[in-house]
Amino acid sequence: MSRVSVPCHVKSTVALQVGDMRTSQGRPGVLVIDVTFPSVGPFELQEIVFKNYYTAFLSIRVRQHTSMYTPAKWVTCLRDYCLMPDPHSEEGAQEYVSLFKHQMLCDMARVLELRLILRQPSPLWLSFTVEELQIYQQGPKSPSMTFPKWLSHPVPCEQPVPLLEGLPDPSRVSSEVQQMWALTEMIRASHTSTRIGRFDVDGCYDLNLLSYT
């Protein structure tokens, strides 16, 4: 299934915190990233791809275009998706993640805006975010392959051509050729894949000092 990247504008992260951010000691555990699509109209979202950086849980809310006169509402399409099985340890902390439309809780037919809500409850990490965020919509459908007619409708067997003088019987020749082909296949199959690897270049292994790059 092909996909086409949708140009998006990722706003900078906003930390949600109680109290005054400058004076409080603790680090925020919730961040919000807004993603808008200024140059594109409402589209059908196919896939979201990003690289995690120490985010433990991800929720996504989407605002879709409705044809009615009611204003577009925010709907949660992904709730508390776990990126790090143990928020205190490294597992999953820097992995690449792909989310598909079939994993979403709602239909993603006419997306206007996305809001990613990142949570990291562990106080051990200094910062967390998601990076290299990319949104994809469905690409044009690949043209269906049309089989040539003769594959699906084989021609009925023709009358054998009468034997020409001096030439061997074609059916006997074809059976002999088939036997020879079977033999070559057998030999090819038993051919070992073990390489006798050579480490030198044309018999010479006179080296410079080791390279540092």
Alpha-carbon Rg for the chain, nearest whole angstrom, is 31
The reply to whether 189 sits near another protein by the rule CB under 8 A is no
Q: Which listed range, 124-132, 144-152, 156-164, 174-182, lies at the site for another protein (CB under 8 A)?
A: 124-132
**Which pairs from 163-170 meet CB under 8 Å and 24+ separation?**
none
- What is the spatial distance between Cα 117 and Cα 61, in angstroms, rounded to a whole number? 8
Contact pick of 2, 7, 88, 186 for another protein (by CB under 8 A): 88
Of 52 and 137, the one with the shorter C-beta distance to another protein is: 52
The reply to whether 124 sits near another protein by the rule CB under 8 A is yes
The reply to whether 194 sits near another protein by the rule CB under 8 A is yes
Q: Answer whether 96's CB lies under 8 Å from 121's CB.
A: no
The reply to whether 93 sits near another protein by the rule CB under 8 A is yes
The reply to whether 192 sits near another protein by the rule CB under 8 A is yes
Contact pick of 19, 26, 41, 197 for another protein (by CB under 8 A): 197
User: Minimum CB separation from another protein for residue 170, in Å?
Assistant: 41
- What is the spatial distance between Cα 153 and Cα 150, in angstroms, rounded to a whole number? 5
What is each CA distance from 182 to 81, 104, 177, 189, in whole angstroms? 55, 53, 9, 10
> At 117, which amino acid appears?
I
- What is the spatial distance between Cα 119 and Cα 89, in angstroms, rounded to a whole number? 15
Of 123 and 170, the one with the shorter C-beta distance to another protein is: 123
User: Minimum CB separation from another protein for residue 26, in Å?
Assistant: 12
Contact pick of 123, 132, 183, 186 for another protein (by CB under 8 A): 123
Q: Show the CA angle centred on residue 92, arms to residues 91 and 94, nearest 5°.
A: 115
User: Minimum CB separation from another protein for residue 33, in Å?
Assistant: 18
- What is the spatial distance between Cα 58 and Cα 114, in angstroms, rounded to a whole number? 13
The reply to whether 211 sits near another protein by the rule CB under 8 A is yes
Which residues contact another protein (rule: CB under 8 A)? 53-54, 85-86, 88-91, 93-94, 123-127, 192, 194-201, 204-213
